[in-house]
A = this chain, B = another copy of it.
Amino acid sequence: MTVESKKHGIVIVGYGGMGSYHAKLVKDNQSLEIIGTYDILEERRNASVADGYKAYESFEQVLNDPAVGTIIIATPNDIHKEIAVNAFRAGKHVICEKPVTLSVADFEVMVSEAKAAGKTLMVHQNRRWDEDFLIIKRMYNERTIGDLFRLESRVHGANGIPGDWRHMKEFGGGMLLDWGVHLLDQVLYMVDSKITSLTGRLSFIMGNEVDDGFEATLEFENGVSALIEVGTTNFITLPRWYVKGTEGTAIIEDWSLKGKSVCRNNDVEKIEPTPIRAGAGLTKTMAPPSEKATITKELPEPLQNASSFFDNFAAVIHGEAEPIVKNDEVLRVLNLIEAIFESAEKGETLHNFDIYSA
């Protein structure tokens, strides 16, 4: 018996962009192994074989193979639930791409099927491992610039929605379900407080049937407010993160993690600013602080999650760890997404919708 044969066997269902990315992520894992893939397209089955992964001929063949311990679902969003339910009933664990389903109700079915089968369901909220996010999370936890009371998380592109199922409603397209689910998950993972107010707004600039961007303003019971924004018609990008604390402000420009914090210099006595000419008027309020009145610093190192997604998954199925991505958290984010759709459609601010347990 070789060492490899002890690894837990995984099959990827849906071998597109994310499916093949999963194969790379699992490649070096000590205890997990991709043993094959399944895709409805011949082209993608050929790509799988070319990449060195057996292409199953049918989904039934995957379900019936006792070597398969886990199924990774990386298909369009609308069929996640059906595949997962079949996987659980065949005794497999499931790792599912985000958004896990298009509704809270569908996710509840998945969770209850996993429970009935005694199997693990983990959603691939991989952006909890993004270093930009983990820098902000450290600042939030460690009060690097005082208490963070304002979080602005933006992702801007200019490509519109890529031209496949992601721009069709029936497949669960649109930016709120695509990027939104990540950015909302990050903020709820960071801020441990109930959402008391939500205003959502979707944009339909490109004339698609799904949103090509959105903004959501959240207020939390602990006083934090967050603006979460995704745009695909932004030829100039605003910073990935812009956050305000009681002692200063911090910015992360983009994925390169370029950024800084600027804080009040408490060693210098506060000096009333001198009015400056600004446009056709004067302003004292908006005059820049004097040179010595602030301190500019580098950003802290990113926090580290306890382990990688796949190491955590392996530990969870062996009963050795709690999942880092918990299904209660996923449910809460889906519920928030439904509330954003509702707020945008009604043009109303919503309260009392959040499912939060302290």
Contact = CB atoms under 8 A, between A and B. Distances in A.
Contacts of A280: 126-131
Interface stretch (A4-12, A41-49, A150-158): A150-158
B235 A242 contact: no
Contacts of A219: 201, 347
Contacts of A161: 285
A31 interface: no
Contact of A157 (B133, B205, B286): B286
B348 A129 contact: no
Interface in A127-163: 127-133, 149, 155-159, 161-163
Contact of A248 (B21, B129, B235, B287): B235
Contacts of A112: none
Interface in A220-264: 225, 231-236, 238-239, 242, 244, 246, 248-251, 255, 260-264
Contact of A294 (B17, B182, B235): B235
A21 to B, nearest CB: 5
B18 A279 contact: no
Contacts of A179: 283, 285-286
Interface stretch (A58-66, A103-111, A270-278, A331-339): A270-278
A115 interface: no
A278 to B, nearest CB: 5
Contact of A279 (B127, B239, B246, B264): B127
Contact of A129 (B132, B246, B279): B279
Contacts of A235: 248-249, 261-264, 289, 294
A345 B166 CA distance: 39
Interface string A273-306: 1011111111111111100001000000000000
Contacts of A272: 162-163
B286 A155 contact: yes
A161 B283 CA distance: 11
Q: Which 5 A/B pairs are nearest by Cβ-Cβ distance?
A: A130-B279, A235-B249, A129-B280, A235-B262, A157-B286
